């Protein structure tokens, strides 16, 4: 499995309408739904946690990511294309995005965004970069 495989799986979700706890590309997804789709598409083991609030708290999101059999935590400074970014919106980790790499020389992420009403691409600018709290890598990435 390569970073390109991960990005291709995530990009299949692009423009899907936002739906909290949604898991169906083209019909409705949230940020976790994009990650679950990647696990499924890449035929990886995963634990799908449902019933989470719109704004996870008390380390809930990190616990879920740490429990994933197909993810391993890496140093933030080692972040690279295809990695899963655990981000804060206000204070606690409460959002997930996938680093898709550079477009026109600038890094981009893909994520389910309630603010934008869909799975969207966004440039990983200073604001989004400052939100990264943890970085995870898919096990077995070349």
Q: What is the number of residues in the chain? A: 142
Q: Answer whether 0.85 is exceeded by the pTM.
A: yes
β-partners of residue 135 are: 74, 85
Q: What are the E-state strand segments in 8-113?
A: 23-24, 28-29, 71-74, 84-88, 93-103, 106-113
Query: Where would I find the H helices in 2-104?
Result: 3-11, 31-41, 60-66
Over residues 87-140, the pLDDT tens digits come to 988 777 888 999 999 888 899 999 999 888 999 999 999 989 999 999 999 998
Query: Cα–Cα distances in Å, from 72 out to 4, 80, 123, 135?
Result: 18, 13, 24, 9
- Structural contact between residues 112 and 30, judged by C-beta atoms closer than 8 angstroms: yes
Q: Which two tokens stand for residue 118?
A: 């869909």
Specify the DSSP class assigned to residue 91: S
Over residues 11-61, the pLDDT tens digits come to 999 999 999 999 999 999 999 999 999 999 999 999 988 777 667 666 778
Rounded Cα distance between 65 and 49, Å, is: 10
Domains, in order of start, for the chain:
3-138 (3.90.1720.10)
């Amino acid at each position: 499995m390569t970073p390109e495989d991960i990005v291709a799986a995530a990009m299949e979700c692009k423009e899907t309408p936002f739906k909290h706890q949604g898991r169906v590309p083209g019909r409705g997804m949230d940020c976790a739904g994009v990650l679950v789709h990647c696990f499924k598409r890449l035929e990886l083991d995963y634990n799908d946690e449902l019933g989470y609030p719109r704004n996870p708290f008390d380390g809930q999101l990190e616990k879920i990511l740490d429990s994933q059999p197909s993810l391993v935590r890496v140093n933030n400074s080692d972040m690279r294309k295809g990695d899963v970014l655990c981000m804060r919106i206000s204070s606690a980790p409460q959002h997930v995005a996938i680093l898709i790499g550079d477009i026109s020389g600038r890094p981009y992420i893909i994520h389910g965004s309630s603010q934008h009403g869909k799975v969207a691409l966004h440039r990983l600018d200073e604001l989004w970069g400052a939100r990264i709290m943890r970085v995870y890598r898919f096990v077995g990435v070349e």
